[in-house]
Amino acid sequence: MSGTILFVTHSEWREARVAPMLQARGYAIERCCPARGDRLPEAVRAYAGAIVFGGAQSANDGPTKPYIQHEIDWIGDYVAGGGRYLGICLGGQLLARAFGARVAHHPAGVNEIGYYPLRATAAGRTLFPDQLHVYHWHQEGFDLPERAELLASGDAFPNQAFCLGRRAFGLQFHPEVRPADARSWFESSSDHLARPGAQSREQQEAGFARHDPPLEAWLDGFLAHWLEQDVIRPQTAKACAVEREVATPAGL
């Protein structure tokens, strides 16, 4: 299969790891950054898939950042229509919000910044190997939408990966972030390293050597799985759309 994958970002482009993996499989990349004034495309059926990346924004910023609310609405319509979707960190939280789930801070103020282990659920056992440590940089987490299937869990933030149907996935972690990307965050957001739960720079440097190579390999395999999923049946998409209409609170 080939086609075009839409990248939706919220600040700098975070594609240095993902784009080559997709291009090696014959896909073209189109980029869109609503935070910088780009309009999300209306002809969504033209895309083989959409990846929504992370950012410093919150999925709860809709009332103050209209483009966030527009993204939530767009994601809900796109996924309900059977679109292939991958949400990374903020992108996963936006998927959860699009289908009525809560996104919130940890009740004790804990952040996940650094490498933390995942535990696959029974549903996610074929996707997440044992001992996989994944990279995080976030202070909010998502609840699961109705009918979502939890694929992987963690300690501080239990919901780490979920799917809605066969083609829409939300991840709380950052498999796309390379050590060089994280090191730039050390400089631009050094205060985050002092937050409760954050790993030190030294801990993360040790994690790069130990955990980044298997995480990069995992991402390549996961993208292959994601791209192989068939279009969901029309009745499933219809049920998903009805669920979204019922579950999404008014005004969000």
Q: What is the CATH number of the domain that holds 130?
A: 3.40.50.880
What is the C-alpha separation between 245 and 3, in angstroms, rounded?
Answer: 30
In this structure, the strands spanning 140-142 and 103-105 are antiparallel
If you ran DSSP here, which 8-state letter would residue 172 be given?
S
**pLDDT score recorded for residue 13:** 65
Q: Can you give the residue range of the structural domain that contains 73?
A: 3-234
CB 119 within 8 A of CB 154: yes
The answer to whether residue 167 is domain-embedded is yes
**How many folded domains does the chain comprise?**
1
CB 230 within 8 A of CB 49: no
Instruction: State yes or no: pLDDT of 195 exceeds 80.
Output: yes
Q: How confident is the model at residue 11 (pLDDT cuts 50, 70, 90)?
A: confident
Q: Indicate the pTM of the whole model.
A: 0.90
The answer to whether residue 250 is domain-embedded is no
Structure-token pair, residue 3: 């086609």
The answer to whether residue 51 is domain-embedded is yes
CB 207 within 8 A of CB 115: yes
The answer to whether residue 217 is domain-embedded is yes
Give pLDDT tens digits for 94-130: 999 999 999 999 999 999 999 999 999 999 999 999 9
The answer to whether residue 140 is domain-embedded is yes
What is the C-alpha separation between 178 and 157, in angstroms, rounded?
Answer: 22
Indicate the residue type of 215. L
**Closest listed residue to residue 147, CA positions, set 61, 64, 243, 78:** 243
Largest CA distance in the chain: 51
